[in-house]
Structure 1
Amino acid sequence: MLPMATPLKTGISLEQIACAKRYPLMQALIGEMRSIFRDDHVNIEDMEKTLLSYKSDPQDWSQYALFDERNYTRNLVDTGNGKYNMIVLCWGPGMCTNIHDHSGSHCFVKMLEGQLKETRFAFPEQNTAGEPLVKTGESYVAVNEVTYMSDQLGLHRMENPSHSENAVSLHVYSPAYDKCSLFDQRTSQRHTSQVTFWSRYGKLSDSDDVPFDRIQTSSKRG
């Protein structure tokens, strides 16, 4: 995991940056994040403030919000010159992730539309194989709110609790990662899953880039 750094204090809002450079707000947000990640340090407070300062506007992100009626989707927006992945996730009603870790990466989530429920679990101890995971809490993330997760805080599952409405969320992972561990809630058993993208920069990925395992790692809860 990247170490934390000293907070940046620009005092300039995303709206001011976007207006001055005639950028869409999403481009201004990407520019600010690239500045935050310009070296090998991550400041959690700085990232949270930057994401909170962005007010969700579908005109900014709709080109990246590509849905699949069968599963939630990961849509790559920016790679930050290899320092992070910025991804728009699209959730149909009732869709959820498996319980998973973040392979040593920081995870920031900004809610763009709808609501997500987050359920957290403690990392299983080495001598607890076969025993259920211990739930440590649950919370909801509403539009324009930001939440943070890392392996130091445990495992989590994210889900769209609505039975009728879609949800869209913006996720930033640093360092960028291409795999994670999935955990069985009943037995604590884990296995590795590749992180794949439904689309890249607003265009659907090739079918070969979306393996069948993606269907196994995204589902609907009854």
Structure 2
Amino acid sequence: MSPISTNNDAIYGQQTQAPTKFTFDELLQKISKLFESNEVNVDQLKQLMHSYESNPADWIKYVNLSKERYTRVLIDGGNGKYNLMLLCWPANTGSSIHDHPDSHCILKVLAGSVSEVRYCWPKDSYRDDHCDGGIGGNNNNDGEGMIITGENRLQTQNVAYINDSIGLHRVMNPDPTMPAFSLHLYSPPFDHCRIFDEKTGKYKKINVGFDPKEIEAVKYRVKHRIKNCDINVHKNHPHHHHDQNSMAKDVLVFEMQEQQHRRQQDNGKTRL
């Protein structure tokens, strides 16, 4: 595992202080600065992810929303120390149950909400002694199903953390109509993992990659209401107009456009 020190807290919990007013680009710079050291404290990373107050106008340019499955958009390769990516979750989509090979995973919900379900390691699927959920080394789980250890409903601004010593998980957007967006930091980066069958606990190894920007199957018009101002944000075409009669908290409204785009092949990588 990477030279990151951690106290293994599975969920960082509620914010201990109000979000800080800095931009998404400044967040990227602050993360990069932390990784200039050869030893990074994961609690500092969690706090930094918490401290950023999500503003869709900051990160809408990275959105790459497919019509039927979630997509992974690489934002920063982290000079080989980490990967930072935006995951875009259409309504009613989710990942497979998967591990994070010797990697730390921190995720922050930027918009919408996601459900994270955690599982024990199935019997005979994990050889390393630092995992309490089943020690072994082959893919014979005797047909036993996966055991759920907990479920967390993560709202906008919430941060979660997991690594292989904690267990396995899957992430889903259960909303029937609205997409969700989450920021994920993996250190060290990985290009393969194992996905697990929930009914049998059997796994297979897959390669994982990133979706090219051309993969969009459907575009959404994103309307961001903030205080006294309506901000209409469209990917690559942000514009603002003021409405003195608008008094509202931050709200995201996603309106599907009629124009659709052919979804290109995702570099031959298997989906989680």
Q: Please say whether Structure 1 and Structure 2 have the same fold, judged by a TM-score greater than 0.5.
A: yes
Q: Which residue of 1 aligns with 2:39?
A: 41
Give the one of 167, 174, 181 matched to 1:154. 167
Deviation by residue 1:2-28 (Cα, 9 ceiling, x = unmatched):
23349xxxxxx964xx5xxxxxx1221
Q: Which residue of 1 aligns with 2:148?
A: 135
What is the SS of the residue equivalent to 2:40? Answer: coil
What is the SS of the residue equivalent to 2:91? Answer: coil
Deviation at residue 133 of structure 1 after TM alignment:
1.1
Q: Which has the larger radius of gyration?
A: 2
Q: Look up the equivalent residue of 1:67 and give its one-letter code.
A: L
Q: Which residue of 2 aligns with 1:213?
A: 270
Deviation at residue 196 of structure 1 after TM alignment:
1.6
Deviation at residue 114 of structure 1 after TM alignment:
0.4
Do structure 1's residue 2 and structure 2's residue 15 form an aligned pair?
no
Separation (CA, whole Å) in 1 of partners of 2:210 and 2:95 = 14
Give the one of 82, 94, 97 matched to 1:96. 94
**Contact (CA 8 Å) 1:14, 1:29: kept in 2 or not?**
no
Residue 100 and residue 5 in structure 1: after superposition, are their counterparts in 2 closer, same or farther (change >3 A)? closer
Matches within 5 A, 1:71-220: 71-126=69-124, 128-199=141-212, 203-204=213-214, 207=264, 209-211=266-268, 213-214=270-271, 217=272
Q: Which residue of 2 aligns with 1:22?
A: none
**Contact (CA 8 Å) 1:74, 1:87: kept in 2 or not?**
yes
Residue 35 and residue 62 in structure 1: after superposition, are their counterparts in 2 closer, same or farther (change >3 A)? same
Q: Look up the equivalent residue of 1:75 and give its one-letter code.
A: V
- How many residues are aligned here? 198
Deviation at residue 108 of structure 1 after TM alignment:
0.5
**Contact (CA 8 Å) 2:74, 2:84: kept in 1 or not?**
yes
Q: Look up the equivalent residue of 1:166 and give its one-letter code.
A: P
What is the SS of the residue equivalent to 2:4? Answer: coil
Q: Look up the equivalent residue of 1:170 and give its one-letter code.
A: L
5+ residue gaps, structure 2, are 7-18, 125-135, 216-262
Answer 1 or 2: which has greater helix percent.
1
Deviation at residue 66 of structure 1 after TM alignment:
0.8
Deviation at residue 130 of structure 1 after TM alignment:
1.8
**Contact (CA 8 Å) 2:193, 2:206: kept in 1 or not?**
yes
Q: Which residue of 1 aligns with 2:53?
A: 55
Separation (CA, whole Å) in 1 of partners of 2:164 and 2:155 = 23
Deviation at residue 39 of structure 1 after TM alignment:
3.0
Separation (CA, whole Å) in 2 of partners of 1:26 and 1:129 = 47
Q: Which residue of 1 aligns with 2:132?
A: none
5+ residue gaps, structure 1, are 7-12, 19-24, 218-222
What is the SS of the residue equivalent to 1:204? Answer: helix
**Contact (CA 8 Å) 1:2, 1:42: kept in 2 or not?**
no
Name which structure has the greater RCO, CA cutoff 8 Å, separation 6+.
1
Deviation by residue 1:47-70 (Cα, 9 ceiling, x = unmatched):
010000101111111011111102
**Contact (CA 8 Å) 1:114, 1:143: kept in 2 or not?**
yes
TM (normalized to structure 2)?
0.68
Separation (CA, whole Å) in 2 of partners of 1:103 and 1:130 = 23
Separation (CA, whole Å) in 1 of partners of 2:175 and 2:266 = 29
Separation (CA, whole Å) in 2 of partners of 1:177 and 1:26 = 24
Deviation at residue 192 of structure 1 after TM alignment:
1.1
Q: Look up the equivalent residue of 1:47 and give its one-letter code.
A: L
Separation (CA, whole Å) in 2 of partners of 1:174 and 1:110 = 15
TM (normalized to structure 1)?
0.83
Separation (CA, whole Å) in 2 of partners of 1:106 and 1:61 = 23
**Contact (CA 8 Å) 1:14, 1:28: kept in 2 or not?**
no
